[in-house]
Structure 1
Amino acid sequence: MSGLTDALVICAVVVLVIARQFKAQPVTADRRWWAIPVVLVFLAVREPDLLDPRHRAVSVALLGAELLVGLAMGFGWARTTHVWTAPDGVVWSKGTRATAVVWGVGIGLRLGLFGIGTLLGVRQGTAALMLALAATLLVRSGVLAQRAGLLRPSYGVADAAYEPMRKDHV
């Protein structure tokens, strides 16, 4: 795909994700919550424009900063999402005003990084943005699933009704 097409697809996905975030939705125990981020990573690393060969060090620094912003955005997004359990036991989530602030700050930081790269003459493609979006979605999904109690360990979990036997003292 061309750079313009990639950018339009990424913008459309972000708008869709943001719009859906502010609607109450059930949090499911889907075991493949990591699948979309993995696909995005795969698509990003196969792009030839991930790093600018003429400005490799600056390009790597910008990519690292982009990934850090993506990780922070995912964490902030998950932590500012309101999570509750309905009387029927279904766990729900909905974005808050703080979630909108996290998105605004994250997008602003990404635009700032893009501007810095442009000022330094670094050729930037959409691959770094796809990697950062993958990091955002991966962290958000993982933290939200953990907050919702969906990622329970399969070992050493005691039943709440279990009470150990007491020894009678003689």
Structure 2
Amino acid sequence: MSGPTEILVIVAVVALVVVRQFRTERLAMDRKWWLLPVILGFVALRSDSLMDPRHTAASVVLIAVEMVVSVGIGIGWAFTTRLWADDQGDVWTKGTAATAGTWVGSVAARAAVVGIGLAMGVHLGSSSFMLGFALSLLVRTGVLMWRAGHEQAAYVGAAPQPVWEGRR
């Protein structure tokens, strides 16, 4: 994938994710929630612009730092997202003001990693951002699914027993 096309894909996916995180949405437990992050990660890993070929060791270290930051971002997104179960036991999500703050922090953290790389003379391509974003999405959704399982378990445990089940 060429540089401009890759950047266009990143911008489109980020816009999609931002819109979906901040609107009320039912969390589909049976959906293949991991598919988009896996596709993004695959595309990023196949790209030639993942690492700076002149600074391989420093690129690997910076990408490792980016992955650690990305895991933290995903956890932050997941734990700042409001999660609740409705009367039918369906789990719903919606981003909060804290989620927006996490987005701002994620931009700053990723900019810091890029800035450190540039200060060292290492140029990471947009694929490193795409790989980190994919990992953040994977972690966020995985943690949300974990939280939703607890939310559903709490709902099921607190659900009143239907009248017809108590009759003999």
Q: TM-score range by the shorter chain?
A: 0.7 to 0.9
Helix, strand or coil at the partner of 1:54: coil
Shift of 1:70: 1.0
TM-score, length-normalised on structure 1?
A: 0.83
AA at the equivalent of 2:107: I
Is 1:21 the counterpart of 2:21? The answer is yes
Q: Which stretch shows the higher mean deviation, 46-55 or 75-84? A: 46-55
Where do 4+ consecutive residues of structure 1 move more than 3 Å? Answer: none
Shift of 1:13: 1.4
Output aligned runs, 1:128-143, within 5 Å.
Answer: 128-143=128-143
Looking at structure 1, the residues matched to 92 and 113 of structure 2 have their Cα atoms a distance apart, in angstroms, of 34
Over the aligned positions, Cα root-mean-square deviation in angstroms equals 2.0
Looking at structure 2, the residues matched to 31 and 22 of structure 1 have their Cα atoms a distance apart, in angstroms, of 19
Looking at structure 2, the residues matched to 56 and 118 of structure 1 have their Cα atoms a distance apart, in angstroms, of 14
TM-score, length-normalised on structure 2?
A: 0.84
Shift of 1:108: 0.8
Helix, strand or coil at the partner of 1:10: helix
Task: Give a deviation string over 1:85-136, Cα, whole Å, max 9, x none.
Answer: 1112211000011111111101111112112222222122121111111111
Figure out how many residues of one structure are paired with residues of the other and give that number.
154
Shift of 1:30: 2.4
What percent of counterpart residues are identical? 48
Shift of 1:31: 4.6
1:104 alignment counterpart: 104
Helix, strand or coil at the partner of 1:82: strand
Unpaired segments ≥5 residues, structure 2: 158-168
Greater helix proportion:
2
- Higher-Rg structure is 1
1:124 alignment counterpart: 124
Helix, strand or coil at the partner of 2:125: coil
1:84 alignment counterpart: 84
AA at the equivalent of 2:126: T
Looking at structure 1, the residues matched to 32 and 105 of structure 2 have their Cα atoms a distance apart, in angstroms, of 28
